[in-house]
Amino acid sequence: MSIVPLKQILDEAIKGDYGVGAYNVNNMEQIQGIMRAAKETKSPVILQASRGAIIYTNMVYIKYLAAAAVEESPEIPMVLHLDHGNSLQTCKQAIALGFTSVMIDGSLKEDSKTPTTFDENVEVTKSVVEYAHSLGVTVEGELGTLGGIEDGVGSGQVKLTNPDEAVRFIKLTGVDALALAIGTSHGAYKFKAKPTLAMDIISAVAAKVPATPLVMHGSSSVPHELIEIINAYGGKLEKTMGVPIESIQQAIKRGIRKINVDTDGRLAMTGAIRKYLADNPSEFDPRGYFGAAREAVYQSVRGKMIDFGTAGHAGDYKPATLEEYKKIYAGGLK
Ligand code: G3H
Ligand code: 13P
Ligand code: ZN
């Protein structure tokens, strides 16, 4: 059994100076592709489910799909994390399902669109920290807002994180990890040209709170090859650019430890399914195209595990339980 609190995986990543991808999941094939990559590269892994994913899987399926991953890969430290929780209530629901980590995105109001004030963000984040820590569960917060808007998450306005506010936010709320806004956005349409991200913000925060792992959302690289496959087989995606791997590697060097990736998995699956169906027009067994999609997710995530430096670290430490972290939080040790 090695479903662990996110705090353990990220604190270990600080010690080993590497990053860990947090991959959004909604179905069995995504989870299998990611877990195969984790096993083969011996990587700790973060599976994250959005509110949309929890609704799509009717809650109970995400719970048991994650349990299946744990049973099949006991040697892999794995986290089940709520992505962009919008209220204490949503976080409580995820924790009741067995999530070992939650994000409370207090940078936006409960509608996940309207930006909040600093004080409103502190208030909701503190309430989640108090509840989650009493159960040993990790909390990720967010300060600043990402650009872009995808699937109802995001205000469309960019507000880069102010490093001094970030340090104050961490101290006031007790969050275990903090997502910074450094110029990335969710989805496939991030940039028209190679981006310049606000890397100094990472360094400024990490210099003041080196023990707090930092998080980067909107980290898909949107590889040209995947866009080309989709368009070659009937898709219509515009030319676009994501976050280059080198930028993610620089961000890791400066203190980013959790790297959120959803879009690249979506692109990989869509391209594989389009290609499979075009190449096999008489095929109607879903295992054919879902199998191809699973393989594409595996390929994509395997590369990231190597590029982020996660590979090889699964066996570095003994997996911890929520009970152990409950005691740590109760003792005031962070
Ligand atoms: O942050 C947004 C993630 O990409 C999740 O997207 O709400 O469509 O599952 P979703
Ligand atoms: P991408 O859309 O870049 O994959 O970002 C996903 C994300 O940040 C989920 O929280
Ligand atoms: Zn996000």
| Predicted confidence (pLDDT) per residue in 234-261, tens digit | 999 998 999 999 999 999 999 999 999 9
Q: What is the pTM of this model?
A: 0.96
CA-based nearest residue to 149, from 105, 123, 188, 202? 188
Instruction: Using alpha carbons, list the distances in angstroms from residue 147 to 14, 113, 184, 190.
Output: 27, 11, 6, 8
Structure tokens at 125: 């984040």
Q: Other C-beta atoms within 10 Å of 151: how many?
A: 13
Beta carbon of 81 within 6 Å of any ligand 1 atom: no
Is 83 among the residues known to form the active site? yes
N residues, the chain: 334
* CA–CA distance, 265 with 20 (Å, rounded to integer): 16
Classify 191 as helix, strand or coil: strand
Tell me which ligand sits closest to the C-alpha of residue 259. Answer: 2
Beta carbon of 217 within 6 Å of any ligand 2 atom: yes
CA of 153 to the centre of ligand 1 (A): 7
Q: Say which of 83, 105, 264, 307 is annotated catalytic.
A: 83
- Which ligand 1 atom is the nearest neighbour of the CA of 187? 4
Beta carbon of 219 within 6 Å of any ligand 2 atom: yes
Q: What is the mean pLDDT of the chain?
A: 95
- Which ligand 2 atom is the nearest neighbour of the CA of 190? 3
Beta carbon of 112 within 6 Å of any ligand 2 atom: no
CA of 257 to the centre of ligand 3 (A): 14
Alpha helices in 25-159 (DSSP H): 28-41, 51-56, 60-72, 88-97, 118-133
**pLDDT score for 153:** 55
Q: What is the pLDDT of residues 255-272, one digit of tens each?
A: 999 999 999 999 999 999
